[in-house]
A = this chain, B = another copy of it.
Amino acid sequence: MRFQPYRSPSTGREVRAVFFDTFGTAVDWRTGVARQATAFAAEQGRELDAEAFADDWRALYQPAMEAIRSGTREFTTLDTLHRENLDRVLRRHGFDPERLGAETLEKLNKSWHRLPPWPDSVAGLAAIRRRYIVGPLSNGNTSLLLDMARSAGLPWDVIIGSDMTRTYKPLPGAYLRTAEFLDLSPGEVMLAAAHNSDLQAAREAGLATAFIARPTEYGPGQAADLAPEGNWDLSASGIPELADLLGA
């Protein structure tokens, strides 16, 4: 019997590709950055509140992209934004970036290239990939997402970085240009994400949507994004459950 792809109620189309938010949905950025910050501090013979360091660094992410989204700054990669933000975070945690070597700073900045997958990500993606095209739909640049895929073992079919769409989520171009590179209509592409705001923007751009619960992304005290807050097409406790719901 021929496989029947999942038909999205919201778009009315059969889904051909399932694209994943990465930071928080496919990989655990907080644990990954904290671990590498701890190693950095140890190399410097210092101590560090590594989870706070990761949270502080991540908190500078949205404001940094905002200048590009609003058009007051020309597009630049997330690696560059992370590197700029790193100086501020280091100072806040008592490190002087000017006294650290370029190689040390570069290695620490590339923490975002080497994040661990959530325990269910690799198997779940492999299952979905049997029936659907899979890829990241992230604000990360291509080389970041590529290094992440190789180190975490994420079996993407294709990587369309934000340096290819030249825009940042949640602007509609991020979703629409991804669909365009795939030669699919937006309604044939599903965004799977742990963040309700990302799903809202994807829906407004015409994509199918799936919520993946990641209740500890922001640590044990996480207060937001614990449950779906919209009428998303699908909602799953992890990527393997999403695979089941997609019939993959």
Question: Residues on A close to B: CB < 8 A?
Answer: 79, 133, 141-143, 146, 149-150, 157-161, 163-164, 181-184
Contact = CB atoms under 8 A, between A and B. Distances in A.
A143 B79 contact: no
A181 B158 contact: no
Contact of A181 (B133, B163, B181, B184): B163
Contact of A149 (B79, B142, B157, B160): B157
A183 B133 contact: no
A159 B182 CA distance: 11
Contacts of A160: 142
Nearest to A163: B181
A143 B133 CA distance: 11
Contacts of A184: 143
Q: How many copies of this chain?
A: 2
Q: Which of A141, A149, A164 has the most chain B CB atoms closer than 10 A to its own CB?
A: A164
A150 B133 contact: yes
A146 B150 contact: no
Given A164-B181, A181-B164, A133 B146 contact: yes
A16 to B, nearest CB: 10
Contact of A146 (B143, B157, B163): B157
Contacts of A141: 183
Contacts of A143: 181-184
Nearest to A181: B142
Given A133-B150, A146-B133, A181 B157 contact: no
A158 to B, nearest CB: 5
Contacts of A182: 142-143, 146
Contacts of A149: 157-158
25 contacts: A79-B183, A133-B146, A141-B183, A142-B158, A142-B160, A142-B181, A142-B182, A142-B183, A143-B181, A143-B182, A143-B183, A143-B184, A146-B157, A146-B158, A146-B182, A149-B157, A149-B158, A150-B157, A157-B159, A158-B158, A158-B159, A159-B159, A163-B181, A164-B164, A164-B181
